[in-house]
Every structure is written in structure tokens, then in C-alpha cells.
């Protein structure tokens, strides 16, 4: 188990991380989401042991991790970290990069392990290609295979799919996270991509300004977000007053509603004016004006700009 206890860290007088605490069980996938600069990458670097902390502690299976001030080479043997720069050897082949830390005294096992990992990241065809000739997305896939080579107990990934084409990304995510579950490898992923978190994570941490704002399962955070900031990581979100929706005596002054929670209807007292229609994965995202506010609604067809319709929850 990974246990982070009340850690704070700053590069100067201003703290980038403030009293961060959470736990992650062995084999669990924890997604860390938050706006740029909120401290996601710094948190991974602290856990891995690249940054020394004066406040708080990090434990793995009840053993305190001491950090870079106590080791000649930072990092822990049971843990692997993949930063946003890939740390590959450009003038050697893909296979040589993946097998760099595998023992040469077992060549047959080394070849088999390298082949297995290249299959996980869909890079088998490029095994003998030099890394300098690869695209950014291909290099990122090689880097993923490389950190898995000596099968860690815990994997720390910083935006691991940021350079990978959308048409390949979903299949890669499914294969990678299925592989980690099968091997019972724990995983912490700092990401901006809601699909990384919603579809695969066991738990999500939402960070803002160096603090943990929320911690829960993907389902609970999606369906019952405590703020617009949290809801916005899962797509467009409307913050609409109950008064504008015609809801009287409501305990809440405003509601957070995703576009698929509103619908266009002909007969409704709540009237909107259509501003634009955006095609989106088989439906249209309709931008409409509700009094002085722009709201977003999902609809099955494109609507004429300037037309007036009703909406309801």
C-alpha cells in the first residue's frame, strides 16, 4: 500500500503542495486530475523520490521512503516513473530501449519479455527501428514499455498518452490498464484527459492550487460533483440557477447539469435561443442563450441559429 501523509512542498517560499494525504492499495489505479500548475507532476516527483520534503511522509507497505537526500541515485527499486520527457536512447532500436534494464545472461527470456511489452503498446512492427526515427506518439509508447520492463509494483505516469493519436489512444489505454490489473501493478496517473480517469481509474483525486479538492470513485465524482471545477473535468457543464429553471422552494440555489441532462422540447416555459450547433460523436452539442447565460444541450440534430426552443431537465 502507498500512504501519503500530510506532505507539503515548495520550490521557494510558496508551497506547490499543501497538506496532501491519501492512500492507494496494491494494484489500484489512482487518477490525479487538475488544471495546469496545480501540483500533479510535483506530487509524482515527491512520491518517486526526486524531490525532498521537510513536511509530511510517504510510506510503502509501512516502510518510510526517505527521498533524494538519503540516496545517491533517487528513486525506489519497486517503483517506476515516466515523466513527460521520455528519457530514451535515440540512436538505439526500440527493442534495445525496452530491454535496456533486462539481464543479458537470459537472452531468450529477454527477447520474450521485450516482445510481450511491444505487443502491449502496439510497437511490435517497429522493434528494429531506431528511436530517433519515430514520431512523438511512438516514442511515448516505447517509453511506456520501457518502464514496465522490470515489472514494478507501482507505476507513476505523467500525462502518458498526451502525444498519442486519438484513433490509437483508446485501444492502447484498454490494453495497458488491463495488463496492469492482470499483473496487479499499482498505478498513479497525472492527467488532463477525463477518459483516462472515468473509464479506467478505481479512484480519482481532484487537485486545485496544490490541495486535494475531492477524492472518490469516478462514478460518484461524475454524478455528484461538489463544484463546477470538479464537474468541468468530465466535459462541458452548465451551472444554472433554480430560478431560471422554474424550480421553486429548492434547497440549492444553482444546479450543475451536463449537456446530456438537458433536452430540447417544443413546449416549455424555459425558453432558449439557439446560438450554434457542434457535431459531436453522433449527436449535436447545442449552444443556446438562456436569459444572460450560455447553456449547452445535447440534441439528435442540428438546429437553426436564432431559432427559439424550450428546454427541460
The CATH number assigned to the domain holding 120 equals 3.40.50.300
Residue 204 shares a structural domain with residue 248: no
Any domain includes 69: yes
pLDDT on residue 43: 96
Q: Are residues 20 and 151 in the same domain?
A: yes
CATH number of 278's domain: 2.40.50.140
pLDDT of residue 67: 82
Q: Residue 249: its pLDDT value, please? A: 62
- pLDDT in 10s for each residue of the chain, 313 residues: 999 999 999 988 788 999 999 999 999 999 999 998 899 999 999 999 999 998 999 999 989 998 888 877 778 889 999 988 888 999 999 999 999 888 888 889 999 999 999 999 999 999 999 999 999 999 999 999 999 998 999 999 999 988 888 888 888 999 999 999 999 999 999 998 887 788 889 999 999 999 999 999 999 999 999 999 999 999 899 999 888 888 876 566 889 999 999 999 988 899 999 999 999 888 999 999 999 899 999 999 999 999 999 999 9
- Whether 156 and 245 map to the same domain: the answer is no
The last residue of one of the domains, among 195, 225, 255, is 225
Q: Is 42 part of a structural domain of the chain?
A: yes
Do 203 and 240 belong together in one domain? no
pLDDT at 33: 94
Q: Is residue 138 part of a domain?
A: yes
According to the model, what pLDDT value does residue 301 have?
94
Is residue 152 located within the same domain as residue 281? no
What is the domain count for the chain? 2
Asked if residue 267 and residue 221 are part of one domain, the reply reads no
Same domain as 51, residue 105: yes
Domain assignment of residue 49, yes or no:
yes
283 inside domain:
yes
Global model pTM greater than 0.75? yes
In a domain, 166, yes or no: yes
Give the pLDDT of residue 284. Answer: 96
Verify that 210 and 287 share a domain, yes or no: no
Domain end (from 166, 200, 225):
225
pLDDT at 252: 65
Residues 65 and 194 in one domain: yes
Q: What is the pLDDT of residue 195?
A: 79
Whether 157 and 240 map to the same domain: the answer is no
Residues 76 and 180 in one domain: yes
Same domain assignment for residues 244 and 95: no
pLDDT value, residue 117: 94
For 216, the domain range is 2-225
Residue 230 lies in a domain: no
**Which whole-number Å values give the CA distances from 160 to 25, 31, 141, 246, 284, in the listed order?**
21, 12, 8, 44, 30
Final residue in a domain of this structure, among 225, 246, 275: 225
- Is residue 231 domain-resident? no
Amino acid at each position: 500500500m502507498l500512504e501519503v501523509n500530510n506532505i507539503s512542498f515548495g520550490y521557494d517560499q510558496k508551497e506547490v503542495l499543501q497538506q496532501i494525504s491519501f492512500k492507494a492499495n496494491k494494484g489500484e489505479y489512482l487518477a490525479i486530475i487538475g488544471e495546469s500548475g496545480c501540483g500533479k507532476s510535483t506530487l509524482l516527483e515527491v512520491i518517486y523520490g526526486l524531490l525532498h520534503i521537510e513536511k509530511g511522509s510517504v510510506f510503502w507497505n509501512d516502510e518510510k521512503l526517505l527521498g533524494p537526500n538519503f540516496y545517491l541515485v533517487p528513486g525506489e527499486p519497486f517503483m517506476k516513473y515516466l515523466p513527460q520527457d521520455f528519457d530514451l536512447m535515440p540512436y538505439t532500436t526500440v527493442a534495445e530501449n525496452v530491454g535496456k534494464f533486462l539481464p543479458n545472461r537470459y537472452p531468450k527470456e529477454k527477447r520474450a519479455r521485450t516482445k510481450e511489452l511491444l505487443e502491449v503498446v502496439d510497437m511490435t512492427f517497429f522493434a528494429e527501428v531506431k528511436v530517433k526515427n519515430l514520431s512523438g506518439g511512438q516514442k511515448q509508447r516505447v517509453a511506456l514499455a520501457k518502464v514496465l520492463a522490470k515489472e514494478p509494483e507501482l507505476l507513476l505516469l505523467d500525462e502518458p498518452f498526451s502525444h498519442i493519436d486519438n484513433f490509437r489512444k483508446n485501444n492502447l489505454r484498454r490494453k495497458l490498464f488491463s495488463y496492469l490489473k492482470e499483473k496487479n501493478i499499482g498505478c498513479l496517473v497525472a492527467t488532463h484527459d477525463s477518459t483516462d480517469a472515468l473509464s479506467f481509474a478505481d479512484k480519482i483525486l481532484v487537485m486545485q492550487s496544490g490541495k486535494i479538492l475531492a477524492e472518490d470513485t469516478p462514478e460518484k465524482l461524475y454524478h455528484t460533483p461538489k463544484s463546477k471545477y470538479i464537474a468541468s473535468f468530465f466535459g462541458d457543464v452548465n451551472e444554472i440557477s433554480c430560478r431560471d429553471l422554474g424550480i421553486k422552494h429548492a434547497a440549492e440555489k444553482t444546479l450543475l447539469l451536463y449537456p446530456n441532462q438537458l433536452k430540447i422540447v417544443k413546449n416549455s416555459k424555459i425558453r432558449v435561443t439557439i446560438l450554434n450547433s457542434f457535431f459531436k460523436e453522433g449527436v449535436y452539442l447545442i449552444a443556446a442563450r438562456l436569459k444572460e447565460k450560455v447553456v449547452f444541450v445535447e440534441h439528435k440534430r442540428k438546429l437553426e441559429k436564432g431559432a427559439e426552443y424550450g428546454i427541460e431537465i
